[in-house]
Amino acid sequence: GEDVEQSLFLSVREGDSSVINCTYTDSSSTYLYWYKQEPGAGLQLLTYIFSNMDMKQDQRLTVLLNKKDKHLSLRIADTQTGDSAIYFCAEEGRSGTGGFKTIFGAGTRLFVKA
Amino acid sequence: GAVVSQHPSWVICKSGTSVKIECRSLDFQATTMFWYRQFPKQSLMLMATSNEGSKATYEQGVEKDKFLINHASLTLSTLTVTSAHPEDSSFYICSARGAANYGYTFGSGTRLTVV
C-alpha cells in the first residue's frame, strides 16, 4: 500500500537552514504537501507542490521534488524559534472509490536552538 | 482564507457516554470532509471520508457503529464517539477540501479524554 516516511527528529540552530526529507511510494501522487503542527493544535498547510514540478519557493520555504526517487524535501531558510513544530509530509492521490485520499508521514519534530 | 472551526477543543467524558465533535467550514462550502485520529507521537490516521448528503466512507479497521459521522450540510460534519472507552482517548482532527484545487483546511482538533 501507499507509504510516506520521514525522519522523526531534527535539531538546528537559530538562523541556520533546516532541511526535512520525505519519501513516498505512490507514483500516481498528484499533489505533495507540507503541513505544520504546533503543540496541541491542528495542522496548517505550509506549501504544496504539483507532481510535475521540481521545485517551488515560497518566501523562506523551498520544496524540492525528485519524482524519479519519490523524494520530497522542505528547506526552511533562516530558521527561527517560532518554526519549532512538527512538520508532516503528505501525498495525495486517487482512492479506490475515485475520490481523493491523502497519506501522511509520521511527522518530523523540528527543534530550533536559540 | 478558508477556515474550519472544530469544537470542542477538548472534552473529558465518562466511560460509556457519547461525545459529539463538530466541524464547520466557515467561509466555504465543503462537499467532502475528512476525520482523522492522531495518537501521541504518531501521524494522522484517516478514519473516514464524509460526503454531504450521503453515508461516510470508513477506512478499514474503523468501526462505523462506534464512530458515527453525519454530514448534513455543505458546512457541517459531526463525529460522534458512542459508548466511549478509555482507549478512544485521542486527538481528533477534521479537515475539509475547499474551493482551491489543492490542500485541505484543518480544524484545530479535539482532544478527547475518556475516564
pLDDT in tens, A16-47: 999 999 999 887 788 899 999 887 677 888 99
**Cα A50 from Cα A92, distance rounded (Å):** 10
Q: Do B107 and A42 touch (CB under 8 A)?
A: yes
- The span from the CA of B114 to the CA of B111, in Å, is 10
Give me the percent of chain A exceeding a pLDDT of 90.
Answer: 55
Q: Which residues contact B106 (CB under 8 A, 6 or more apart)?
A: A35, A42, A43, A44, A45, B4, B93, B94, B95
- pLDDT score recorded for residue B14: 96
Work out the burial of residue B41: count CB atoms within 10 Å of its CB; fewer than 13 is exposed, 13-18 middle, 19 or more buried.
exposed
Cell numbers for A11:
535539531
Residues of chain B with pLDDT under 70: 1, 41-42, 98-103
Please tell me what DSSP assigns to residue B55: P
Residue of B82 and A98 predicted with greater confidence: B82
CB A105 within 8 A of CB A20: no
Query: What pLDDT score does A79 carry?
Result: 98
Each residue's pLDDT tens digit, B34-43: 999 987 766 7
Q: Which of A42, A45, A102 sits opposite B109 (nearest CB)?
A: A42
CA distance A77 to chain B (A): 23
What would the pLDDT profile of A42-84 be if each residue is shown by its tens digit? 788 899 898 888 999 999 999 999 999 999 999 999 999 999 9
Contact between chains at A42 and B108 (C-beta distance less than 8 A): yes
